[in-house]
Chains A and B, each alone.
Chain A
Amino acid sequence: MPTPLSLHKEMHMNHSNIVVPARRRFLGTAGKATLSAAAIALLAGNEALAQSASGTMQDVGILNVALGLEHEAINAYQLGAMSGLLQKPVLDVAVLFQSHHKGHRDALIATIRKLGGTPVAEKPLDDYAKALRADTLKSQADILELAARLELGATNAYLGVIPAFKDAGLAKVAGRLAADETMHWSILSSAMGKPMPMAALTFGA
């Protein structure tokens, strides 16, 4: 029976035979998926959640930070899609992930408004390009690497703010958002041929 370490080594040694075909199959089908309307309405349609929220400005502040993060993610994928460096089916996956982030954005905006807050505005695309150093992205691999870094950061950010929410419903939503980001990170990592985490509980720690 292989140990986790030997399995890890084997996966690396057989990378071209095992990981790549699986990766292609994954990317080939992921781009054809459709975004669930329920995902878009994650928060926007949840009246009970909005009513149970205490409306504290602290929660609104956290949601607005999350919104800023989603604005950046949408623009990061936009920069990738416009770069001419992404090829199908990777391009399709990037557009799909961008649509997820747009769903997050719309849900966050609706919730912030329901709680009496003012949603933070999106910046011009050029601002995101400068902050993310888009001029340094020279290949599809560079874009995937940046996207994976941002998705991992977003995963950990959402997990990290869960204890700060005054409203338990919003904490749960942060967990759901983190799950989407984790899914993105996992697929991007697979596409880059990176090994899966060998240890448990690697996210949010």
Chain B
Amino acid sequence: MRLFIAALVLAAGTAHAADAARGKTLYESRCIGCHSIDANRVGPAHRGVLGRKAGTAKDYDYSPALRAAAVVWDARSLEHWLADPEKLIPGQRMGYSVPDAGDRADLVEYLRTESTR
């Protein structure tokens, strides 16, 4: 029993609580080259991305692969996308990926907060 409790404590200590503030900092340094929250630039605008079907941001010129993708963005699909965009939607254009799971979770949490404003 003690071992079980210790394992639970350890798991709680190592689990990553998504941090929107850190996600904003990451966004400002890593994503801002191509993306903005409210404007289509090299990449599409991100406000409202959670819950949106892939390839449907207003007035953005998507790749055929994104337009045809049957993906609705939620935390899980966004994390898969950020981990390896080409694996999730072959033929898409984003060569950038986010290898660290904690970074991905924080970025998604930041996008979630921006999506609901």
B-contacting residues of A (Cβ < 8 Å)?
58, 61-62, 64-65, 68-69, 72, 130-133, 149-150, 152-157, 160-161, 163-165
Contact = CB atoms under 8 A, between A and B. Distances in A.
Contacts of A130: 39
A156 B30 contact: yes
Contacts, number: 64
Given A61-B63, A131-B39, A154-B33, 6 more contacts: A65-B34, A69-B34, A153-B29, A153-B33, A160-B30, A163-B97
Contact of A72 (B42, B63, B95, B96): B42
> Chain A binding site: helix, strand, loop or mixed by DSSP?
helix
Given A72-B42, A161-B96, A164-B86, A150 B36 contact: no
A185 B4 CA distance: 51
Interface in B31-53: 31-34, 36, 39-43
Kindly name the residue among B28, B31, B32, B43 whose own CB sees the greatest number of chain A CB atoms within 10 A: B32
Nearest to B90: A58
23 contacts: A61-B95, A64-B93, A65-B34, A65-B43, A68-B42, A69-B33, A130-B39, A132-B39, A132-B41, A133-B39, A149-B32, A152-B33, A153-B31, A153-B34, A154-B33, A156-B29, A157-B30, A157-B33, A157-B96, A160-B95, A160-B96, A164-B95, A165-B95
A27 B29 CA distance: 25
A61 B36 contact: no
B94 interface: yes
A179 B96 CA distance: 17
A178 B48 CA distance: 30
A69 B42 contact: yes
A20 to B, nearest CB: 26
Interface residues of B, number: 21
Contacts of A152: 29, 32-33
Interface of B: 28-34, 36, 39-43, 63, 86, 92-97
A66 to B, nearest CB: 9
B28 A149 contact: yes
A178 B92 CA distance: 22
A165 B30 CA distance: 18
B64 to A, nearest CB: 11
Contact of A153 (B32, B63, B95): B32
Kindly name the residue among A130, A131, A153 whose own CB sees the greatest number of chain B CB atoms within 10 A: A153
Nearest 9 interchain pairs by C-beta: A153-B33, A164-B95, A157-B33, A62-B95, A161-B95, A153-B32, A131-B39, A68-B42, A160-B96
A133 B93 CA distance: 25
A149 B27 CA distance: 11
Contact of A150 (B31, B33, B94): B33
